[in-house]
Chain A
């Protein structure tokens, strides 16, 4: 069965620091999809990125970057020069091919960025 682990339950940084959120996944499928979502206090899950298992290229979007490594089953998320507005809970999720839009979520990492 699939599983997503976010070992860091809570991280606290000072503004402008770089921070990396870890995500490790387990799946028996060779085709799968990985996601990151941000959840502010309002509750909505805001989509950040989706990655296919056959595309191991790292991605950068502004201050955000993602490092996908199949060899270690990891899909880590780095925020460069963090800002107070980045404070939220971040979730990593996995979807397997053929499982429709069923996502398996990690436990989430609460990020607190202090001014």
Chain B
């Protein structure tokens, strides 16, 4: 069974540009969430999508957005990139909403974004 797949793995962008990252969840999983990891702030929750609807959102500016498609694949977009957006962006998938149904949350290998 394939794991969570994220593309691209590495990318370099210039300040002011925008970037789109893609995530394919584990087959059958309907919940996709995104996290940002930086040395200074650690792992921070960006947002979660379930059945194409954003269910939770972290404390990030509006430049960070995402969406989920009918096949559960998800994309996140960062517009007007800043140097501080350089980070590892991790996508996670889970069978359903919440942990009460015994869901485990699985992560992909991440997308390493460098903003210059």
Contact = CB atoms under 8 A, between A and B. Distances in A.
Contacts of B106: 47
Contacts of A37: 107
Interface in B59-116: 88, 90, 92, 94, 97-100, 103-110, 112
Interface of A: 31, 33, 35, 37, 42-47, 50, 52, 91, 93, 95, 97-108
Contacts of A102: 33, 45, 48, 56, 58
A31 to B, nearest CB: 7
A52 B103 CA distance: 11
Nearest to B90: A45
Contact of B104 (A43, A50, A106): A50
A50 B103 CA distance: 9
Contacts, number: 74
Interface of A, secondary structure class, is loop
Interface string B4-29: 00000000000000000000000000
Interface of B: 31, 33, 35, 42-45, 48, 50, 55-56, 58, 88, 90, 92, 94, 97-100, 103-110, 112
Contact of B48 (A45, A52, A101, A105): A101
Interface of B, secondary structure class, is strand
A3 to B, nearest CB: 12
Given A33-B99, A45-B90, A108-B42, A100 B108 contact: no
Given A42-B109, A43-B112, A101 B94 contact: yes
A107 B42 contact: yes
